[in-house]
Chains A and B, each alone.
Chain A
């Protein structure tokens, strides 16, 4: 059932076996699981059933490190959470993502991919996807009637993604929770503190405030934080009455190792040797087996011997129907003139520059302004032979304790400290970027698909047009060792008997796959654990 928390009497104490804080992909998945088992549950959702600006403002915070999306626009604070605006791309993490990797500090999960596969299969259904079949891309490709490229598996592979409708968890599963007798969803209910016992070994109650309404609390046998990759850390840090550094933070781990998937637009251009090379699924989403799939290029495994240590990546390609020679010609001419010489075949180059003047103006305008669009956008043909491709790199970020969220001095409308996000990348990430470019260049060359022109990294720092992917991960990372993680392999906060965390904040490493399917799989796994404990 649903309850508008603003209607509760001041000081109300709700009781349940489990209290879930947050109703996004993780929280709703968990609530459904507990509903099936008839376990009394209170779900605390900060927002209502629809978007509300005042509530959304509670997500506001500062971005003090590398540029990233504003914190109050990269997630949503109402029933359904960020699934209310997700794109629906789904893929499990690769087996290598769970393994400790030499040269990548803090890599490795305390569980294996095979441990998660049964839950991934169940997650497929909740995300309204097709069969759990991601490890045989050739089978999908054959169904398109095409044949794929035989990439060197250590260098490159085709990674299959399935596309959720996308499932809006807040809409799709609203009715099931509305009818539930075991689960009470409290809307407009903001968890503001976790009150623990004297030695912080268990959480006694969750304190709750409404923006325009009463304060109340929830007593539960088990408490699960499921408020997303940033807020989970924030709630732990704010719970500082018994432990001044916050709950679960005895080893200064909460908030650290924040990860996103850095996205580099136009990180390379490929020019194909022959038009229309066989790259099935790379450019279009295709309906197959009752679902929608597409492919990207992705990191091969194991990493080739002798290559610098790097993380995983995927390369998203967009077609080019026209090769823009004018930009190359302009570079050739200006390079020669700056050296006080006249380039060979000057007239050819000038003709090429003239022909591509729209593309050149477009590139110059975007370079000078830093904007993604310009009034000079060339009228690129939208059909015809595909002569090349624009390659975006979207990649894993290695765990980095210096990349973190902290509490800032600014406070929100509830008096809670806002977050400050200090996103930082490391040298491993530079190698990942370079590896992605190099692997695609080597394989496109070896298979005579084409040649690749790679955008270099700046000597220091990162390209100004690098963006994140709004995938907030790692701030309450999972580890068997309390010194390197906040939660254990089940999601329980180290040292606290009844406090759990669900969501991407527990990811020790991020892989290159979109996180939602793994978030749902982990929530299902935690649901089974809580069902066992409560029973």
Chain B
């Protein structure tokens, strides 16, 4: 249980850093509520219904800076590959939507 909590904290750390570097900050009145709203919508969509928090297994970075860079690269890669999801009209990189889902789940926990 403790290991899970630590992992979750680290995940949130880099998700926050990644999202702050993305355009999510402009999506809603606050970074967190906007991302959470997107995450909830994503999880309730067909694309997000089977989500198994793949990011937990994706390799957690040791620092927010590394995490941010990794996140931005993943976002760009998703867009380059056409790996996008549509959440409430927004066309997002899959990793972005997953990150939002993480934040939503954490907020609900």
Contacts and interface: CB of A to CB of B under 8 A. Distances in A.
A332 B33 CA distance: 10
A332 B37 CA distance: 7
Contact of A271 (B26, B29, B30, B84): B26
Contact of A387 (B26, B76, B90, B107): B26
Given A437-B91, A451-B23, A446 B79 contact: yes
B93 to A, nearest CB: 6
Given A344-B36, A345-B29, A348-B29, A446 B89 contact: no
A273 B84 contact: no
A328 to B, nearest CB: 6
A304 B79 CA distance: 14
A463 interface: no
A348 B27 CA distance: 13
A351 B72 CA distance: 31
B23 A273 contact: yes
A455 B89 CA distance: 7
Contacts of B76: 445-446, 448
Contacts of B34: 328
Nearest to B83: A442
A349 interface: yes
B75 interface: yes
B91 A445 contact: yes
A332 B86 contact: no
Contacts of B75: 445, 448
Contact of B88 (A323, A331, A343, A351): A331
A456 interface: yes
A81 B43 CA distance: 56
A255 interface: no
Nearest to A328: B28
Interface in A259-314: 271-273, 304
A271 B23 contact: yes
B49 interface: no
Contacts of A323: 26
B12 interface: no
Contacts of A352: 28-29
A454 B34 CA distance: 17
A331 B27 CA distance: 13
B92 A345 contact: no
B97 to A, nearest CB: 11
Contacts of A520: none
A453 interface: yes
A345 B35 CA distance: 12
Contacts of B72: 448
A450 B23 CA distance: 6
Contact of B23 (A272, A332, A454): A272
Q: Which of A325, A343, A351, A445 has its CB near the most chain B CB atoms (within 10 A)?
A: A445
Contacts of B86: 454
A427 to B, nearest CB: 20
A476 interface: no
Given A452-B91, A454-B89, A456-B89, A345 B79 contact: no
Interface in B92-109: 92-93, 107
A331 B37 CA distance: 10
Nearest to A452: B91
A243 interface: no
B28 A451 contact: no
Contacts of B36: 344
B36 to A, nearest CB: 6
A345 B26 contact: no
A54 B75 CA distance: 61
A345 B30 CA distance: 8
Contact of A445 (B30, B33, B79, B89): B79
B60 interface: no
B27 A271 contact: yes
Contact of B29 (A152, A273, A325): A325
B90 A452 contact: yes
B61 interface: no
B66 interface: no
Contacts of B80: 152, 442, 446
Q: Which of A304, A329, A344, A437 has its CB near the most chain B CB atoms (within 10 A)?
A: A344
Contacts of A448: 23, 72, 75-76
Interface string B55-80: 00000000000000000100110111
Interface pairs A-B: 7 shortest CB-CB: A345-B33, A441-B91, A445-B79, A446-B79, A273-B23, A348-B29, A352-B29
Interface of A: 152, 271-273, 304, 323, 325, 328-329, 331-332, 343-345, 348-349, 351-352, 387, 437-438, 441-443, 445-446, 448, 450-456
Interface of B: 22-23, 26-30, 32-34, 36-37, 72, 75-76, 78-80, 82, 84, 86, 88-93, 107
Given A329-B28, A344-B36, A454-B89, 5 more contacts: A323-B26, A325-B27, A328-B27, A344-B33, A345-B33
